[in-house]
């Protein structure tokens, strides 16, 4: 059930609607990271003086440049870790497009459903981003401390978070928020295992950026299998 849903999702990656969500999500993610860097740089320039004097040293003029370059490398390093969770959260705003594309191709007999409101989607995306960042910080610490058990915890934790998010995004469209929560609780084992499958590509650069789209498509198929295409 899970693997067949996953391979169906891979088979539709060339769909223009999939590609639109991918590039839109990546573009907004890069723009957000640049904005964060610009804000940090502005704060540094606003709170540091161009130069000051120290006893026995004289006038110091390079601190502002040092902080500026330091902030650049800090953002560069942090963006390596933040890119995937931020891209996942931003792309989740547009995952209904992916679900609609899957249903149009594989489940054309189903009636169309109203789209989730923008602010509801934004709230869910922000909550998802917070959970992903906190969860991955904890998992990374455990990897350094526990090594192999930490790696297992990393995949298990990300699998849990991704599975919960994607089944709710896909199920909420047809069952509502409470119905989506019930589906997750009733099928938590299957959903968790499917989420772990989504967590594996997280460790591969470039490939990990496709996780949000593959996740939405895979869980759309999984939702219809679990619900019997709403019978």
SS3 of 177-229: HHHHHHHHHHCHHHHHHHHHHHHHHHHCCCHHHHHHHHHHHHHHHHHHHHHCC
| Domain extent for 114 | 2-227
Q: 174 CB contacts (<8 Å, ≥6 apart)?
A: 113, 223, 227, 230
What is the spatial distance between Cα 188 and Cα 137, in angstroms, rounded to a whole number?
Answer: 24
Task: Quote the number of domains for the chain.
Answer: 1
Burial 199-217 (b: 16+ CB within 10 A, else e): bebbeeeeebbbbbbbbbb
Query: What pLDDT is attached to residue 21?
Result: 80
Query: What pLDDT is attached to residue 192?
Result: 92
Cβ neighbour number for residue 187 with a 10 Å cutoff: 20
What is the spatial distance between Cα 181 and Cα 210, in angstroms, rounded to a whole number?
Answer: 25
Q: Give the chain's residues under pLDDT 50.
A: 49, 51-63, 66
Query: What pLDDT is attached to residue 193?
Result: 92
Q: Which residue from 108, 76, 106, 86 is spatially nearest to 28, judged by alpha carbons? A: 86
The residue with tokens 């931003």 is 90
Q: Which residue from 162, 161, 176 is spatially nearest to 117, judged by alpha carbons? A: 176
Token pair, residue 72, equals 């650049």
């Amino acid at each position: 059930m899970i693997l067949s849903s996953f391979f169906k999702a891979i088979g539709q990656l060339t769909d223009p609607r999939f590609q639109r969500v991918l590039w839109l999500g990546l573009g907004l993610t890069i723009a957000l990271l640049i904005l964060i860097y610009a804000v940090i740089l502005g704060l540094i320039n606003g709170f540091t003086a161009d130069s000051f004097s120290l006893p026995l040293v004289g006038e110091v003029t390079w601190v502002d440049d040092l902080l500026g370059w330091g902030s650049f490398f800090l953002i560069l390093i942090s963006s390596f870790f933040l890119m995937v969770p931020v891209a996942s959260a931003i792309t989740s705003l547009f995952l209904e497009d992916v679900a609609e594309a899957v249903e149009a191709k594989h489940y054309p007999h189903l009636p169309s459903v109203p789209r989730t409101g923008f602010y509801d989607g934004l709230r869910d995306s922000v909550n998802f981003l917070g959970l992903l960042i906190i969860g991955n910080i904890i998992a990374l610490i455990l990897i350094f401390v526990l090594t192999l058990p930490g790696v297992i915890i990393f995949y298990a934790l990300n699998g849990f978070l991704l599975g919960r998010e994607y089944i709710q995004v896909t199920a909420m469209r047809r069952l509502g928020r409470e119905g989506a929560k019930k589906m997750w609780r009733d099928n938590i084992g299957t959903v968790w295992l499917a989420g772990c499958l989504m967590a594996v590509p997280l460790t591969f650069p470039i490939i990990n950026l496709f996780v949000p789209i593959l996740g939405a498509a895979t869980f759309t198929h999984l939702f219809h299998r679990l619900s019997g295409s709403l019978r």
